[in-house]
A and B are shown apart, each in its own frame.
Chain A
Amino acid sequence: MGPFVAVMFDGFAYGMLLFLISVGLSVTLGMMNFVNLAHGAFAMLGAYVTVTLMNGYGWTFLATLPFAFVVAGLASVAFEQTLFRPLYRASDLDQVLLTIGLVFMAVAAVAYVFGTESQPIHIPDYLRGFVTVGTANFAVYRIFLVAVALVVSVLLIVGLEYTRFGAQIRAAVDNQRMARGLGIDVDRVFAYTFALGSGLAGLGGALAIEVVGLDHSFALIYLIVMLIIVSVGGLGSISGSFVAAIVIGISDTAGKYYFPYLGAFLIYLVMIAVLMWRPAGLFGRR
């Protein structure tokens, strides 16, 4: 029983990490239909902010996290205003190509500035080790991950449901034209949402270093996982991303535990199966 619970928890924690990284992409895709493959670059940016602050300036891990969030968010605003805005009406393909081009540039730039080695960080001792409950071991860092993700999720949901801005977001996702017609400044709403989503990606990236490691190809590797979560969860749906992330996280971890020879296979099969059953994703709209 012990291993089963531990594996489920590990998968859940991994899923929470993936959720943080992907939720921004889901919302922006749902709202503006803008395929932003550069989302992974923002996650990578947040991770490198943390690495620089910790290894270069001696900050503690927790202190760097808000900065990872803010820097990634601000950077995304710059891109959104200049490069992305002209392409909202462009075809899927053009958006894919533009944003992939940006990812390539980001990966190369990072290799240039930081080198190609993997970037280690040393998390504080109170986040290390594990906690034993019964026969199962729960890693302290993963508990921390889950806690952060849950807090973020609650804040997001509360924000969406109970604030005016949240209502505007929901309106813009549901029916953009109508929202504009009602006087909502959709472009501004989108800019803020985009920043928020990218900031969360940056935070997720920073948290991910300890679990999956960081090097210059991070943005490309996790891009694929992000796309899987977003398409499985459904565009524009936070709860969709949440559920999809958990499903993917657990499938991946449990899959590797129970069927090690299936390796990474399982998440692709899951994605294909879900998309064939529901092309718009589990909680998607169209």
Chain B
Amino acid sequence: MDDGKDDDDMDAVLNKNSEDAGRRKGKSAANKSLITRNLRLAYSEVQNEGVPDHLLDILNRIPDGEGKKS
């Protein structure tokens, strides 16, 4: 009778599938986190550069005292 052995084999396969699924999920979460971290690093790097004067000059042409009609 191989029933017991078959059950053990089936358990082993199920356990492996479960471990594999867990590992895939963990890896996916780690990759997602790594991408987000680098996206934010790259983004904040530009944000912290300081704004070039020629861009500020465009905005400084806007008069401060004149109200926009709303």
Q: Do A and B bind each other?
A: no
